[in-house]
């Protein structure tokens, strides 16, 4: 049973987990953790634990879905039954189907699909534990899994959410803030081109509040982008150091 909290933001302006309005949760990222997948990445963001894996480019099955001029990108976002407070059925829910679509559309612009016609590229995201803004964390991990697989990309895709808790616009919503707050704005960004590749809003916001939320989410994106790059580099630590 979920508790209803009295206040999402206390008198000092701190959130339920002690964060300020423009603070991200603690993030830990690892790249290349699955041996079978062509590329993989794991992210922890607050209590979110999400695994992403990429297979491909590989043959398209069934063959008739093959595209003559580019890769067929498929994406599956799925939540483990034990990832949420009340057990979730393993069958794909309508929400998971929608999220699979928007996540695919968020990473697609970065990939040079036309390089490998008549092949398939599969992105799998598994939410092992959920605590709000899972689609954003999923995009962060999926993007790294694609890079880990050696898929040529224009840029990494990064994502972060913003929302309204009480009367404050806050960055990186956790589940309680999403459920009890009045708006949730997930944003995905391809930083080089300043291109927004995912944008949704669920809730009620004035135009001004919406602008604030988007800007705050973009700020969060830039911070996480640096972490993504770091995680990719970390995989290739100089072997000399390892030897000694």
Partner 1 sequence: MSSIVVKVKQKQIAQLIAKGKRLDGRGLKDYREIKIEQGIIERAEGSARVLLGATEVLAGIKIETGEPFPDTPNEGVLTVNAELLPLASPTFEPGPPDENSIELARVVDRGVRESKAIDTEKLCIEPGKKVFVVFIDVYVLNHDGNLVDASTLAAVAALLNTKMSNYEYEDGEVKIKSGYMPLPVKKHPVAVTFAKINDSLVVDPWLEEEQVMDARLTITFDDDGNICAIQKGGSGFFQPSQVLEAAQIAKDKADEIRKQLKW
Partner 2 sequence: MPTFFERRQLATPGDLLAEGDYIAGEDTYKEDNKIYAARTGLVDYEEKRVNIVALKAFYIPKIGDRVIGTVVEIGFSGWTIDISAPYPAILRAGDVLTRSFKPQRNDLTEVLDVGDVVIAKIVSYDRTHDPQLTVAEPELGKVTRGQLVRVTPTKIPRVIGRKGSMITMIKQETGCHIELGHNGIILITGKNIEDEELALTVIRKIEQESHTSGLTDRISQMIKKEKEKRKEETEDESKT
Which residues sit at the interface with partner 1, rule CB under 8 A? 2, 94-95, 97-98, 100-102, 104-105, 108-109, 185, 190, 193-207, 210-211, 214-215, 218
Q: From the CB of residue 68, how many other CB atoms can be counted at a distance below 10 Å? A: 6
Would you call 224 helix, strand, or coil by DSSP? helix
For residues 85 and 192, which CB has a smaller minimum distance to partner 2 in the complex? Answer: 192
For residues 4 and 61, which CB has a smaller minimum distance to partner 1 in the complex? Answer: 4
Q: From the CB of residue 227, how many other CB atoms can be counted at a distance below 10 Å? A: 17
Which residues make Cβ contacts (< 8 Å) with residue 47, sequence separation at least 6?
129, 130, 131, 174
Rounded least distance, CB 125 to partner 1, Å = 15
DSSP secondary structure letter of residue 36 = S
Q: x/- site string to partner 2, residues 50 to 89, per CB under 8 A?
A: ------xxxx--------xx--------------------
43 binds partner 2 (CB under 8 A): no
Tell me the two tokens of residue 184.
Answer: 């949730």
For the chain, the distance separating the N- and C-terminal CA atoms, rounded to the nearest angstrom, is 52
Q: Phi/psi class of residue 203: alpha, beta or left (left: φ > 0; alpha: ψ in -120 to 50)?
A: left
Rounded least distance, CB 153 to partner 1, Å = 14
Which residues make Cβ contacts (< 8 Å) with residue 176, sequence separation at least 6?
2, 5, 8, 16, 132
Among 86, 167, 238, 244, binds partner 2 (CB under 8 A): 238
For the segment 187-226, give every residue that binds partner 2 (CB under 8 A).
190-193
Rounded least distance, CB 229 to partner 2, Å = 5
Check if the beta carbon of residue 45 is closer than 8 Å to that of residue 137.
yes
Among 37, 39, 73, 133, binds partner 2 (CB under 8 A): 39
Tell me the C-alpha distance between 134 and 126, whole Å.
Answer: 10
For residues 62 and 68, which CB has a smaller minimum distance to partner 2 in the complex? Answer: 68
Which residues are at the interface with partner 2 (CB under 8 A)? Answer: 38-39, 56-59, 68-69, 110, 112, 116-119, 147-150, 152-156, 190-193, 229, 232-233, 236, 238-240, 243
């Amino acid at each position: 049973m979920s508790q209803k909290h009295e206040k999402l933001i206390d008198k000092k302006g701190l959130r339920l987990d002690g964060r300020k309005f423009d603070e991200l949760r603690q993030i830990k990222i690892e790249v290349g953790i699955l041996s079978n997948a062509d590329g993989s990445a794991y992210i922890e963001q607050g209590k979110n634990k999400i695994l992403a894996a990429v297979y491909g480019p590989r043959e398209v099955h069934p063959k008739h879905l093959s595209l003559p001029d580019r890769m067929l990108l498929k994406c599956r976002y799925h939540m483990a039954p034990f990832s949420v407070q009340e057990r979730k059925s393993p069958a794909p829910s309508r929400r998971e189907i929608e999220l699979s679509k928007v996540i695919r559309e968020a990473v697609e612009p970065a990939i040079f699909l036309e390089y490998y016609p008549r092949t398939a590229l599969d992105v799998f995201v598994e939410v092992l534990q959920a605590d709000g803004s899972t689609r954003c964390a999923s995009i962060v991990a999926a993007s790294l899994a694609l890079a880990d697989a050696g898929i040529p990309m224009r840029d990494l895709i990064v994502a972060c959410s913003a929302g309204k808790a009480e009367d404050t616009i806050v960055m990186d919503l956790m589940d309680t803030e999403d459920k009890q707050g009045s708006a949730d704005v997930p944003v995905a960004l391809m930083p080089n081109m300043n291109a927004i590749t995912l944008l949704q809003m669920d809730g009620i916001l004035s135009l001004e509040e919406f602008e604030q939320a988007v800007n705050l989410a973009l700020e969060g994106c830039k911070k996480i982008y640096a972490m993504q790059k770091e995680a990719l580099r970390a995989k290739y630590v100089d072997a000399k150091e390892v030897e000694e």
